[in-house]
Amino acid sequence: MKEKKIDIPEQVQSILDMSRSLFGEKLIAAYLHGSIVTGGLKPQSDIDLLLIIDCPLTDEKRKIFIDFLLQVSGHHPFCGLGARCIEVILLQKSELAMLHFPAQADFIYGEWLREEFEAGTIPMPVSDPEITLLLAQARQQSISLHGPAAIELLPEISSTQIRRAMYDILPVLLHSLDGDERNVLLTLARIWHTAATGTFVTKDMAATWVIPNLPEPMKSVLVHAREAYLGTIKDDWESEKFNIQKTVKYFNEQIIILLSK
């Protein structure tokens, strides 16, 4: 499979250089994935990196890496200038062979965790169905910055595990709706699309696919989320609270029906 060619942002190159310095020959692979690969960065898109190492991650190295990423990653929300928000997920090579469910990341950095890290929290291993989905998508849609192509290293995630991961994520998404309306709506659209088709697409593509299947006013709610994601309008959910709740409930019901088949 021929990998897509893109310009590597300076932020990414600096993280790659730091990873090589920190882990040396034990850095097995580094993959760029997410929006930058699948459809291009949108106004608020993070830059997503997946690292694979083959060595114990000591507290000292965790602290060094966190301190570095706090400097390199831009603050949320991205204002259109300067550094973008960075998400870095690091897995042990041994995890790829064991393929636990849910998959376990040895280290996660994201801007939603900035306050914890600035307060001194050290990131520890996390098992999460989102990591399972990330591996499935990165195997199909990523660019190798270091090491072998993803399809050569990352395990093939079974459709059973993908569907189970999507089912397990639903309650977490519903719980996080307040204050994160756009992301929850678009993530549910992606899950609906993947549950129906077995393929991964961008958030805006998933929304475009789902919209014709929705009655009003749910259709308008998802159109609003998609256009805000694309940067053509600003998020304004205050007057749509009731319709958002109805839309999310409907999404959840339709997804569960698909996943139960």
Rounded-to-integer distance, Cα 127 and Cα 245, Å: 28
d(CA 134, CA 91): 11
- Non-local (6+) Cβ contacts of 85 within 8 A are 46, 47, 73, 74, 75, 76, 78, 110, 111
Tokens of 142: 């990523």
Q: Of these residues, 25, 87, 95, 253, which one is catalytic?
A: 87
- Chain position carrying tokens 């006013």: 217
Annotated active-site residue 118? The verdict is: no
Determine how many CB atoms are found less than 10 A away from the CB of residue 9. Answer: 16
List C-alpha distances in Å: 89 to 95, 191, 235, 258. 13, 21, 28, 29
In whole angstroms, what is the distance from residue 115 CA to residue 101 CA? 29
Provide CB contacts within 8 A for 168, sequence distance 6+.
102, 129
Q: 147: which DSSP letter?
A: S
The residues near 226 (Cβ < 8 Å, ≥ 6 apart) are 186, 203, 204, 207, 208, 211
* DSSP 8-state class, residue 3: P
d(CA 214, CA 23): 49
Tell me which residues are annotated as active site.
Answer: 87
